Chains A and B, each alone.
Chain A
């Protein structure tokens, strides 16, 4: 009898020890949602995750790529259903939505620690700092530029346009059989919001809000921007009302578009077009004739920590801190060389950033993009203010919707902008 009890006790103790060991060996699992869907970006993120998981056996990160088109709907639904990811990439106007749902905790302390080590570019951090907290950790900057082929411009006797008059003339001259002078979108989607805002910035209409938080979208500069967009749009493709970033890039890569507004075209140009670095031109976005300098849409992307569990939050911080280490940060940014610009001082100098073969090949273009980004702005985050209600305007793509009234419904720009302001007021109510 005693022997039997000994055996039972021994087995039970062994099971307990094994169970405890197994529980200890079980890594903290993190699910990461990001919206960098192109396969080469997903592959690079996976490479980094594999490296991280290998060097941190106590943490297991898994990526689940999402779409920018759906994430504004999907993330709140996932949170409501209890299926939210632990980490979620964001742009500035996305964080207020999740913060209002109570899904975010401030990462102020964590960001301070990172800042002491890596020194964030202040403008990258500002859009995520409001209501007494910091709601996401900046990861990379983006800025739009005008892309063209030097040989095509030379053949047409053109130089990169600086003003809107020159720009329109160039688009007209580049329009030929089988080629659109310019590829401009008119989809009710984020890409169109961005290209419209490019023109607003260059017309002097960067501020959608007054400093007191009231809307000032309906003003002569905004109308001027929409009017000029319509002028240029006549030289764009007939199916532009369905375009997102990919279609514009494809049009440029195939030579079907003489120029486009895009964050970068380097990857597609190098892999699917000529890949002649000497011929790829990048210029600041032209400004209205009565203005002196060019501006662009520019903003930092960030990552939010949605995990509530303390162990998961710590693991998420470990992953983000690892990502921002200079030796890994450059590899992360180069998932799309030239598109993702550094937000930390040591990241900007990182060897891992500048040693990538594509970055080496297209260094002048990347330096030009960085220079363009210095005069950047983002709707709802201008003049040192942050207006969280921009989230509702952005989620409904009201800038793009207003453009569709002008180029599809043929409404006058003044009436469309007036209607746009009314829609914004309804949205932020």
Chain B
């Protein structure tokens, strides 16, 4: 009779102790996420132009205005192209690299470190390297293209509507795929070797082993990477801004770039805050959808 309440009391005190331990983190998160988010909502309800100035209460007026903007929908479309392009390219590059690094060969440890280097390089250095590589005056890529007779004059990689976005996707994927590759490699190394041995004994070839063992068992890792990667890609601002600043002619103006321009170039802080709130809601919905869609069957 006495053991029950004692156990209950112990469980309760453990729960309280646990809550006390996570409380500082929760308070910190509330201060760094909820407070700015709340401030954004408050700003979005006012007609504030330049940061630091006052503006009258307009209710949902800013939301109505931005939802009518053709620029917002165009930027949303470009953001989707950006996220999809990055997801596809990074997955292909990372999966290929992870499979390669999962093999046993001489110097594999060195190669694993080498591959991660592009992820360590600061963004500004990445941008300078690629602008130099793809430049028309002295750019190595253009030099090779012209020297090999593949084109008669240098190509303006950041000058065309389509080529600018494609170039940015390549640059961003180049920067991020090593991180994804390392995560996938960790996932690959958790797959028991005896599964492959048993499959090989049963006569399964490399493709069948990949399809029936590797791919299904990588799904939990892919799920996490898919959700986190999509959200991170969507919010990328630095590489785009530093390389093309959303140009040429708005060709690479994704939603984060549009929000920045609306706040700090057009001086419409209230509208920019409304856009931010809408994007936050969109990303939350996207995270829920992705989690449900990508969750391995049978895991609820």
Instruction: Contact check, B137 vs A256: say whether CB atoms are below 8 A apart.
Output: yes
Instruction: Contact check, A101 vs B156: say whether CB atoms are below 8 A apart.
Output: no
Give the residues from 229 to 279 in chain B that come closer than 8 angstroms, CB to CB, to chain A: 243-251, 260-261, 263-267
B273 CB to nearest chain A CB (Å): 14
User: B154: nearest residue on chain A (CB-CB)?
Assistant: A238
Instruction: Contact check, A73 vs B137: say whether CB atoms are below 8 A apart.
Output: no
A20 contacts B by Cβ under 8 Å: no
A183 CB to nearest chain B CB (Å): 9
User: A81: nearest residue on chain B (CB-CB)?
Assistant: B52
> How distant is the Cα of A256 from the Cα of B90 in the complex, in angstroms?
36
Which of A186-194, A202-210, A304-312 faces chain B? A186-194
Supposing A72-B264, A395-B267 touch, asked if A239 and B50 sit within 8 A by C-beta, the answer is: no
A345 contacts B by Cβ under 8 Å: no
Which of A104-112, A139-147, A403-411 faces chain B? A403-411
Give the residues from 248 to 294 in chain A that come closer than 8 angstroms, CB to CB, to chain B: 250-251, 254, 256
> How distant is the Cα of A188 from the Cα of B178 in the complex, in angstroms?
33
B40 CB to nearest chain A CB (Å): 15
B103 contacts A by Cβ under 8 Å: no
Instruction: Contact check, B156 vs A76: say whether CB atoms are below 8 A apart.
Output: no
Interface of A is mostly: helix
> How distant is the Cα of A392 from the Cα of B268 in the complex, in angstroms?
11
> How distant is the Cα of A29 from the Cα of B157 in the complex, in angstroms?
46
A242 contacts B by Cβ under 8 Å: yes
Instruction: Contact check, B247 vs A187: say whether CB atoms are below 8 A apart.
Output: yes
Residues of B within 8 Å of A131, CB to CB, are: none
A235 CB to nearest chain B CB (Å): 12
Supposing A186-B248, A404-B248, A405-B249 touch, asked if A239 and B52 sit within 8 A by C-beta, the answer is: no
Residues of A within 8 Å of B39, CB to CB, are: none
In-complex Cβ contact of B159 among A69, A100, A241, A251 (8 A): A241
B111 CB to nearest chain A CB (Å): 34
Give the residues from 114 to 149 in chain A that come closer than 8 angstroms, CB to CB, to chain B: none
A158 contacts B by Cβ under 8 Å: no
Interface residues on B, range: 35 or more
- Interface 0/1 of B154-180, CB less than 8 Å to A: 111111110010000000000000000
> How distant is the Cα of A401 from the Cα of B247 in the complex, in angstroms?
9
B35 CB to nearest chain A CB (Å): 16
B272 CB to nearest chain A CB (Å): 11
Instruction: Contact check, A239 vs B53: say whether CB atoms are below 8 A apart.
Output: no
Instruction: Contact check, A242 vs B265: say whether CB atoms are below 8 A apart.
Output: no
> How distant is the Cα of A189 from the Cα of B138 in the complex, in angstroms?
23
User: A102: nearest residue on chain B (CB-CB)?
Assistant: B53
B291 CB to nearest chain A CB (Å): 35
Residues of A within 8 Å of B260, CB to CB, are: 73
Instruction: Contact check, A239 vs B159: say whether CB atoms are below 8 A apart.
Output: yes
Instruction: Contact check, B50 vs A76: say whether CB atoms are below 8 A apart.
Output: yes
B112 contacts A by Cβ under 8 Å: no
Instruction: Contact check, B265 vs A73: say whether CB atoms are below 8 A apart.
Output: yes
Instruction: Contact check, A238 vs B153: say whether CB atoms are below 8 A apart.
Output: yes
Interface centre among B50, B155, B159 (most CB of A within 10 A): B50
Count A-B contacts at CB 8 Å: 102
In-complex Cβ contact of A242 among B52, B158, B249 (8 A): B158
Instruction: Contact check, B244 vs A242: say whether CB atoms are below 8 A apart.
Output: yes
B146 CB to nearest chain A CB (Å): 9
Instruction: Contact check, B247 vs A404: say whether CB atoms are below 8 A apart.
Output: yes
In-complex Cβ contact of A427 among B131, B156, B158, B266 (8 A): B266
A25 contacts B by Cβ under 8 Å: no
B51 contacts A by Cβ under 8 Å: yes
In-complex Cβ contact of B136 among A101, A238, A404 (8 A): A238
User: A69: nearest residue on chain B (CB-CB)?
Assistant: B245
> How distant is the Cα of A101 from the Cα of B53 in the complex, in angstroms?
6
Residues of B within 8 Å of A152, CB to CB, are: none
Instruction: Contact check, A77 vs B158: say whether CB atoms are below 8 A apart.
Output: no
Residues of A within 8 Å of B263, CB to CB, are: 73
Instruction: Contact check, A392 vs B267: say whether CB atoms are below 8 A apart.
Output: yes
Residues of B within 8 Å of A350, CB to CB, are: none
Supposing A72-B264, A73-B264, A241-B159 touch, asked if A80 and B52 sit within 8 A by C-beta, the answer is: yes
A79 contacts B by Cβ under 8 Å: yes
> How distant is the Cα of A48 from the Cα of B10 in the complex, in angstroms?
72
> How distant is the Cα of A241 from the Cα of B243 in the complex, in angstroms?
11
> How distant is the Cα of A218 from the Cα of B161 in the complex, in angstroms?
26
Give the residues from 60 to 95 in chain A that come closer than 8 angstroms, CB to CB, to chain B: 69, 72-73, 76-77, 79-80
In-complex Cβ contact of B161 among A69, A188, A247, A408 (8 A): A408
A250 CB to nearest chain B CB (Å): 7
Instruction: Contact check, A100 vs B248: say whether CB atoms are below 8 A apart.
Output: no
User: B244: nearest residue on chain A (CB-CB)?
Assistant: A242
Interface centre among B248, B265, B266 (most CB of A within 10 A): B248
> How distant is the Cα of A52 from the Cα of B244 in the complex, in angstroms?
40
In-complex Cβ contact of A254 among B131, B137, B264 (8 A): B137
- Interface 0/1 of B193-231, CB less than 8 Å to A: 000000000000000000000000000000000000000
In-complex Cβ contact of A241 among B52, B53, B158, B261 (8 A): B158
Instruction: Contact check, B50 vs A100: say whether CB atoms are below 8 A apart.
Output: yes
Q: A77-B52, A238-B156, A239-B158 are in contact. List 15 more A-B contacts (CB 8 A).
A: A69-B245, A72-B264, A79-B52, A97-B50, A97-B267, A186-B159, A188-B246, A237-B136, A237-B154, A239-B157, A241-B159, A242-B131, A254-B137, A396-B261, A408-B159
What are 16 A-B residue pairs whose CB atoms fall within 8 Å in the complex? A73-B260, A76-B267, A77-B51, A77-B264, A100-B53, A187-B248, A238-B153, A240-B159, A241-B248, A254-B137, A254-B138, A395-B267, A404-B248, A404-B250, A409-B161, A427-B266
Query: Which B residues fall within an 8 A CB radius of A?
Result: 50-53, 131, 134-138, 153-161, 164, 243-251, 260-261, 263-267
Closest 8 CB pairs of A and B: A80-B52, A238-B156, A73-B264, A241-B248, A404-B249, A408-B249, A239-B136, A408-B248
